[in-house]
Structure formats: C-alpha cells, structure tokens
Amino acid sequence: MITVRKSSERGTTRTDWLDSKHSFAFADYYDPAFESFGALRVINEDQVAGGGGFPPHRHRDMEIVTYILEGALEHKDSSGGGGIIRPGEIQRMSAGAGITHAEFNASRDQPCHFMQIWIMPSQQGLAPSYEQKAIDAQAMANKFIRIAGPDPQPNEVRLMQDAEIWAAKLDADVEAIHNLAPGRRAWVQVTKGEVSVDTERLSAGDGAAVTDQAHVALRSRTPAELLLFDLP
C-alpha cells in the first residue's frame, strides 16, 4: 500500500529568516494522521536565509540527521562536534542524554536549503555524539545507496536504531528499485524533480509511505533526487 503525503499538505513555520515545511507533527504543528512513521519522527525541509540560523537550543534522546540540498550549514554543539556541511555530505548528531547545539547558514548572503530528519533511538540516555561523512556521489548516480544505518560502512553515518537512510540522484526516465525485507516498510521523500512510485506521481516536497510490499519501485519523470527511509 502507498499513502501519499503531498507537499502542499505539510505544516509550515515561517519567520524573517526561515521557511520550514513539516512532513510530521513538529513544534506548534500537529496532525494526528502524521505524527511519525515508525521510528521516523521528523522530516523538515528548511530554507534558511543568508545570515540566519537557529541559536543554541537543547535536545535529548533523538538521532538528528542533516542532508544539504543547496548552500552550506555551520554546526556547533556541546559535545565538541562542529563543522560546515555542504551538498554531498551527511551529518548525524545523537542527542542522547542531552546536547545543546546551534546551526547557522554559513553564508551571509546565499540561502541554505536542507532536510533535517529526526529518528527516535532504540535506547534513551546514550552518550551524545556527532559525525559528518562525505557521500559517494558516483555511487548514488541512478540508484539508491545507503548513507546511514546501525552498522555503518564507509561514507555512512551511524544510527542508534534499526533504521536506514538511502539516497539517489536519478536522470530522467530511470527505474530504481529498493527491496524491503519481510516486516519492513519505507518512507520515500522527493527532494528534487518528479518520480512515479507505482501508479502515484510525486513531485519535490512530496512523500509516500510504502507498507506491505516486497520492494519500492519508482521511475524518474525528470532528473530527481530523493531519500528513502527503510524501517521496521
């Protein structure tokens, strides 16, 4: 079964420096039909104006993953983690027992466009930690590659949960298939372009829950970029 979450139906937060769209309940936005999807708790698509950013704030017991679409984002946290993340990289912060962090657009005049993902960890009270990895850009051309999981390989970050994040950049009219093990389900999030998932047509910002299927089969209608979350 495929359940589509259209971009236009997402929650929004707008300030003078932030345009954020929420696929799931977040902050003041609540939708009982889209509180979470298994351990996947948040998918926010954020656009931060030049010079803007999130001042220091605290999190706990959450795996927070950042994936940049355009621009660059600077990160600092109380675990000692920090750096600038750009397209082609993935960043993971485990909030664990508690962590304070800040994120700012690394440019004073260019916008930063990114996805921030929260995944609920399998255990609470873990030691906070941070990592940032380069993604193998050639490997993700016209197919899915894993960029995060509980047993990370090179070019992947670790998740403290039985969850995986996969990414693909597709040329137009390319078929990509992701197999699902028995009992697994997937969430597909289109970040750029247009794709078809079975008979459903998805555009940038759209998401889809895929349940009770042996695989996710999609075809790009235009050049496209997307994330796929493989979950129990």
DSSP string, 74-104: EEEETTS-EEEE-TTEEEEEE-TT-EEEEEE
- Residues 1 and 185: their CA atoms lie apart, in Å, by 10
pLDDT at 203 over 90: yes
pLDDT at 137 over 90: no
Instruction: Give pTM, 2 decimals.
Output: 0.96
pLDDT digits (tens, 9 = 90+) for 29-88: 999 999 999 999 999 999 999 999 999 999 999 999 999 999 999 999 898 888 899 999
Is 1.20.1740.10 the CATH classification of the domain at 9-135?
Answer: no
| CA neighbor of 90 nearest in space, from 75, 107, 110, 105 | 75
pLDDT digits (tens, 9 = 90+) for 75-109: 998 988 888 999 999 999 999 999 999 999 999 99
